[in-house]
Amino acid sequence: AVVSTQSTGNLSVSTMRLPIYGIGTYRLEDLATLRGVIRAVLPMGVRLFDTAQWYCNEAMIGEVLETELPNHGLKREDVVVVSKVHPRNHGYENAKKSALESVKCFGYIDMMLVHWPGMHNSEGVDMREMRAGTWRALEELQTAGVLRGIGVSNYTVAHLTELMTYTTTGPPSVLQSEFHPRCHQVDVRAFCNQHNIQFMGYTPLGRRDLFTKPAVVSVAEKHKITPSQVLLKWGLQKGVVTIPRSSSVERNVENALSWTDGKLLEQEDMELLDTLNDDHRYCWNPNLL
């Protein structure tokens, strides 16, 4: 498994290269904002940073890490960078070329994902062939050592099953997809468990409507924590690598406390939050492909 956990305090943390908690950086495109956020969370033990070619911030994150890590007594190998191949870069040649450009920002990339199983203007395009070519490019770069791990994002069970027919390096190490109490991804997570694929959840806070759900509010009041901390603890306690995003330093600190404060939700809390599931997606839906 990519993630091996041991109990430290009341929450599990990774003892290997993929921590169970990290931060997302979508729409964080300002150098000062990125520096403020990363500078705030490094002392809290956050070591996973999720980016993508689509986010247009890989170079800035690489720059911030290069300057900030020494200030916290850390080296590049102490943190994990996850990035993703832009959907427009599907296919062997484009995927390989773009992934190498991403690598230049960090020296190497710990986990490179295929961002989306489709691509823009794909009418008449054999997407199975394109996905297979993209995966082959990542496999080669992993063999070369510039990608330490490879995986996929937003793949359905059908896409994962297809990938298993052409992979030469086994299952993807990671599947990243939307995950929160309204979107449990039961079938996808079952596939991941069966094939030893670590599930990573983005948009763990959903949208603001989740914060005011009576179930979330009651659990927050019970434990004297915030609704966002309730939502993050729910995902973490399910063993999902959780990557909330915010441009606010204060909100990032609040979010990280859900992982470091040592408080656990009780089983009855988890079951109450589970009742919110209605397979609702706030983001894109790969089932429509």
Q: Which amino acids are annotated catalytic?
A: 55
Q: What percent of the chain has pLDDT over 90?
A: 89
User: Encoding tokens for residue 125?
Assistant: 């395009």
Sign of CA dihedral 232, 187, 85, 139: positive
pLDDT-derived band at 121 (thresholds 50, 70, 90) equals confident
Taking residues 218-241, report their average pLDDT.
98
Closest CA to 115 of 50, 190, 46: 50
Taking residues 79-92, report their average pLDDT.
97
pLDDT-derived band at 3 (thresholds 50, 70, 90) equals very low
φ, ψ (nearest 5 deg) of residue 210: -65, -35
pLDDT at 12 over 80: no
In angstroms, the CA 58 to CA 104 distance is: 9
pLDDT-derived band at 17 (thresholds 50, 70, 90) equals low
Q: How confident is the model at residue 8, as a pLDDT?
A: 31
Taking residues 22-34, report their average pLDDT.
97
Single-letter amino acid code for the residue at 187: D
What's the whole-model pTM score? 0.93
pLDDT at 160 over 70: yes
Crossing angle (nearest 10°) for helices 227-236 and 249-260: 50
In angstroms, the CA 72 to CA 255 distance is: 20
Taking residues 156-167, report their average pLDDT.
98
Q: How confident is the model at residue 41, as a pLDDT?
A: 98
The DSSP 8-state label assigned to residue 12 in this structure reads E
Instruction: Report the first-to-last Cα separation within the chain, whole angstroms.
Output: 29
Taking residues 40-54, report their average pLDDT.
98
Taking residues 233-252, report their average pLDDT.
98
pLDDT-derived band at 228 (thresholds 50, 70, 90) equals very high
